[in-house]
Amino acid sequence: MAIILDHVSHIYEAGTAMEAAALKDVSLMIPDGQFIGLIGHTGSGKSTLVQHLNGLMKPTSGHIYYNGADIHEEDFNKKELRSKVGLVFQYPEHQLFEIDVFSDVCFGPKNMGLDEKEIQLRAYAALKQVGLEDDYFYQSPFDLSGGQKRRAAIAGVLAMKPEVLILDEPTAGLDPKGRDEILDQIAALREETGITVVLVSHSMDDVAKYVDRIVVMNQGSVLYDDEPRKVFRYYKELEEVGLAAPQVTYIMQALKEKGFPVEADILTIEEARDEILRALRHKGIAP
Amino acid sequence: MLRDITLGQYYQTDSVIHRLDPRVKLVATFVFIISLFLVDNFIGYLIAAAFLACMVKISKVPFRFMVKGMKSIVFLLLVAVVFNLFLTPGEPLISVWKLTVTKEGLRLAAMMAVRLVFLIIGSSLMTLTTTPNNLTDGMEKLMSPLKRLHVPVHEVAMMMSIALRFIPILLEETDKIMKAQIARGADFESGNLIKKAKSLVPLLVPLFISAFRRANDLAMAMEARCYRGGEHRTKMKPLIYHRRDRYAYAVLLGYAVVSVYFGRIFTL
């Protein structure tokens, strides 16, 4: 049970002078329960790629399979697919429209044709999952702060109980605190429910801590697809395509080059601290 | 989805007509339309047709782009022709049931059809060869004498160019919100009229909010740069008449004289 992309290409405005290839022969497999970071510079095709995953865009060539079925077959139920593969767009707060937060979160489940009680239960659970206080449920979504609006919008997608959750730059425009809160909540949600998460970002620092696997996109094709540690070994190549490894990786690399006996495959600040302490102890400097 | 819609249909190429001052093109279109309504015989229309054909040829814009603009007025054209055809009193030609086609009616209907078609081709020639920004610049300059009468010419022109600038932005925004709502299971296609109208609420509310937000941001940005309307403002690209513009005016004057003389005063 997974999403499979088989040699998917997408060309914008094919056959005109404005023709531009956004995706070039992308093949990917997204297995159940994985936490994937989709990284790429602006214009690398990340957003185009994720819009293919729930059938909003149709590939110019190639096939996409969800649980073994081709999603562009005549008899495939796209509406159901969209409730199974929940897509949170960039700046999702711009899609809020209802008179209060709770009704807005109900919009998705309502479209699935569920009964009233189930709709409300799901909306309530989703709002709790994103950590929005009860006080805000019956306020106008336009009165909330930026971070709260974004949570409400994410809850709107979560209420459909998707099996795969795709978030397109969920931290864009948030301050560091809001960013960490949202990312921590997504990680907690994934721990709790075991859903598949695809996190689109252009910042390695954002995703390094959370994800199992990193897919690096460059100019419409997949450049690297591996565990974070292995991908960051290519930090020099990543720089060439306008990306960077997490900052700690650079520090550890620099220490190693100076002859300090540390491992350079480090993802987080905590790991780096432990590794440096270990090396110091090894040398007999630290206790 | 919505990217296919083209508005402010400028056709990018390089021709003498593209390079003309927008004021010339505005005046020419105006004069051409007036000439269409002054002329009332066959020779006059022949002259107008020849003039228009030459301009289309010189502009290097493919003719099919002008036909495109015609689609929107097919209905209007039909109504005008039918009404003129049947409701003009005069010498009867054919009579079916209660409807009578008269000689005068036929003449009037044909004239109306030709006028409307020429009018659309003529004005789309202007919009196809002039960028929207140039067009508003030209209008502002042409109407600047009205400032003496306290008509806010600059403000009107500024509003027009901002409106035009925002069309593609709002189209893109619509596309984005539509996709986001479809991802939440919204359905914009099926159902009856009332259901369809209702289904637009999740699209229209965010769209209006975003339009207001953008308007607000733009107003703030303009104020931050000390924008305060038309007084003493200079232009980055001021409109200056060149030699080709003077020639164009001469050609236009020639056309106007010839078409009015042969189309109205001169009779065989």
Give me the domain span that covers residue B107: 1-130+239-268
Verify that B229 and B244 share a domain, yes or no.
no
- Give residue A287's pLDDT: 65
Going edge to edge, which strands form the sheet with A196-201?
A: A85-88, A164-168, A196-201, A35-40, A213-218, A221-226
Is residue B235 left, alpha or beta, with left meaning phi > 0 and alpha meaning psi from -120 to 50? beta
Asked if B185 reaches chain A (Cβ–Cβ under 8 Å), the answer is yes
Cα gap A189→A207, rounded to integer Å: 15
Verify that B93 and B5 share a domain, yes or no.
yes
Would you call B184 and A95 a contact, using CB atoms and an 8 Å cutoff? yes
Verify that B45 and B69 share a domain, yes or no.
yes
Where in chain A are the domains?
A: 246-287
Q: pLDDT class for A108, splitting at 50, 70, 90? A: very high
Q: What global pTM score does this model have?
A: 0.76
Cβ atoms of A214 and A37 within 8 Å: the answer is yes
Q: What is the pLDDT of residues A128-143, one digit of tens each?
A: 989 888 999 999 998 9
How many CB atoms lie under 10 A from the CB of residue A177? 9
Verify that B116 and B146 share a domain, yes or no.
no
By CB atoms closer than 10 A (0-12, 13-18, 19+), residue B12 is: exposed
Return the closest-CA partner of residue A83 out of A189, A157, A193, A168. Answer: A157
Cα gap B118→B82, rounded to integer Å: 18
Return the closest-CA partner of residue A36 out of A242, A207, A237. Answer: A207
Verify that B183 and B268 share a domain, yes or no.
no
Verify that B27 and B75 share a domain, yes or no.
yes
Do β-strands A35-40 and A213-218 pair in parallel, antiparallel, or remain unpaired? parallel
Count of structural domains, chain B: 2
In sequence order, which residues have a C-beta less than 8 Å from that of residue B178 and are 6 or more positions away?
A: B1, B2, B188, B203
Verify that B37 and B109 share a domain, yes or no.
yes
Interface test with B, best of A47, A48, A97, A140 (most B CBs within 10 A): A97
Q: What is the mean pLDDT of residues A252-280?
A: 85
- Give residue B74's pLDDT: 83
Going edge to edge, which strands form the sheet with A69-70?
A: A20-31, A2-12, A61-66, A69-70
Q: What is the pLDDT of residues A27-78, one digit of tens each?
A: 999 999 999 999 988 888 899 999 999 889 999 999 999 988 899 888 888 8
Distance between B160 CA and the closest CA of chain A, angstroms: 26
Verify that B44 and B4 share a domain, yes or no.
yes
Verify that B60 and B137 share a domain, yes or no.
no
Verify that B192 and B267 share a domain, yes or no.
no
* DSSP sequence for A70-133: ETTSTT--HHHHHHHEEEE-SSGGGG--SSSHHHHHHHHHHHTT--HHHHHHHHHHHHHHTT--
Verify that B177 and B219 share a domain, yes or no.
yes
Verify that B39 and B18 share a domain, yes or no.
yes
Q: What is the mean pLDDT of residues A181-185?
A: 90
Q: What is the mean pLDDT of residues A137-150?
A: 90
Is the pLDDT score of A160 beyond 60?
Answer: yes
Asked if A108 reaches chain B (Cβ–Cβ under 8 Å), the answer is yes
Low-confidence ranges of chain B (pLDDT < 70): 1-9, 69, 266-268
Q: Which tokens belong to A113?
A: 């044709």
CA B141 to chain centre: 18
Q: What is the pLDDT of residues A8-17, one digit of tens each?
A: 999 987 766 6
